Amino acid sequence: MPTSSLAAVYRKDQNGLSIEEITVDDPLEREVLIRSAATGVCHSDLHVIDGHINAGRGPLVLGHEGAGIVEAVGAGVTHVKPGDHVVTCLSGFCGQCDQCLAGHPNLCVANPTGRTRDQASRLLQGDQRVFAFVGIASFAEVMLVHEHSVVKIDDDLPFDVASLVGCGVLAGVGAALRTARVQAGQTVAVFGCGGVGLSIIQGAALAGASRIIAVDQTGAKLELARSVGATDGVNASDVPAVEAVRELTGGRGVDHSFEAVGLPALVRQAAEVLAVRGTCTIVGVPPDGAVFEIPFAAIRPECTIQTSRMGSTRFRLDIPRYLDFYKAGRLHLDQIITRRARLDDINDVVASMHAADGARTVIVFDQQG
């Protein structure tokens, strides 16, 4: 029996998201039906709402940083069972393509987590198809996802914290530990101290970086950055950021810089603060069509500029590992949540994210039973 669920629905020509009733199909062979407990609101969701990422005309249910309790599973599901607590991740993997087999499931090219065209839609409104963003659609009371889009987590973890590890924290911590492989003693600069930037800082701290310089335009975010492991803060609305970072490192520059926003101007600055043989890792998701321009003379010899896709994650390994770090007090995830809201408040949450007045908002759902 299909389940009815409230969901925040996006349509291209509509102002904001609207809370509407949808029906969610029963799980097929490899699918998992999840009662939502919490979902983060990520900037990728915002990019769709703002038209910076084209996700079609809709109707579409956004959201991908989901956490909840498994309600039902298809006959072929082995990773979870009803009652298990899970986190969703957009890095669904097939396990069989070249990238998966080479140990890079975050780059899976098979896109295995959706239904095929000849199968019924997972989400419906009447008989109209409703699309699920990246195969997850966590801005809804009920999610139906592929088994390879979820990971089981411990029952004693708070869902709001766990949901953030499904995307922003995974992308940030992973960028430092897996993509850039920051080494103990190296110096780091992080441009942008939202949820992802704060996670990069913590990944760098876990790796043993000697200096972690946070760069942002608001004093409050720089304070937050220091509370999770940054050793220095540069307020880019007061001083030129590139010069300030160079000064803090005695003119040398940093071994690793990270861009956490997706702004071409910040990528340029992140490249310009590198030391000789330094590495700049672009973690932020730029809008469609973005172009980076960096003067060649401004970059020191033998530097690397690279992108990071979801922190080069193997999410089935990394999400439980990062949550263990949280339990051990080594990842400070409570500080990243600046607001908790209800699904009804979604448009207000989006507006406040545009005002950039917080690191991360988590939508929390009622849990029955």
Assigned token pair, 237:
């609305």
Alpha-carbon span 344 to 19, nearest angstrom: 7
Cite the DSSP H helix spans in the chain: 43-49, 98-101, 159-165, 168-174, 195-207, 219-227, 241-248, 264-272, 315-327, 346-354
Return residues touching Zn ion (CB under 5 A): 42, 44, 94, 97, 100, 108, 110, 167
For the question of residue 167 being annotated catalytic, the response is: yes
CB 224 within 8 A of CB 198: yes
The least CB distance from residue 163 to Zn ion, in Å, is 11
3-state secondary structure of 101: helix
Number of Cβ within 10 Å of residue 196's Cβ equals 32
The least CB distance from residue 64 to Zn ion, in Å, is 6
For the question of residue 64 being annotated catalytic, the response is: yes
For the question of residue 332 being annotated catalytic, the response is: no
For the question of residue 89 being annotated catalytic, the response is: no
* Burial class of 125 by CB neighbour count within 10 A (0 to 12, 13 to 18, 19+): middle
The least CB distance from residue 104 to Zn ion, in Å, is 9
The least CB distance from residue 99 to Zn ion, in Å, is 6
* Active-site residue, from 5, 36, 43, 64: 64
* Active-site residue, from 5, 36, 43, 44: 44
CB 136 within 8 A of CB 66: yes
* Active-site residue, from 43, 47, 146, 256: 47
* Active-site residue, from 42, 89, 100, 303: 42
Q: Between vectors from CA 260 to CA 256 and to CA 264, what angle results, nearest 5°?
A: 95
For the question of residue 43 being annotated catalytic, the response is: no
**Which residues are designated catalytic?**
42, 44, 47, 64, 167
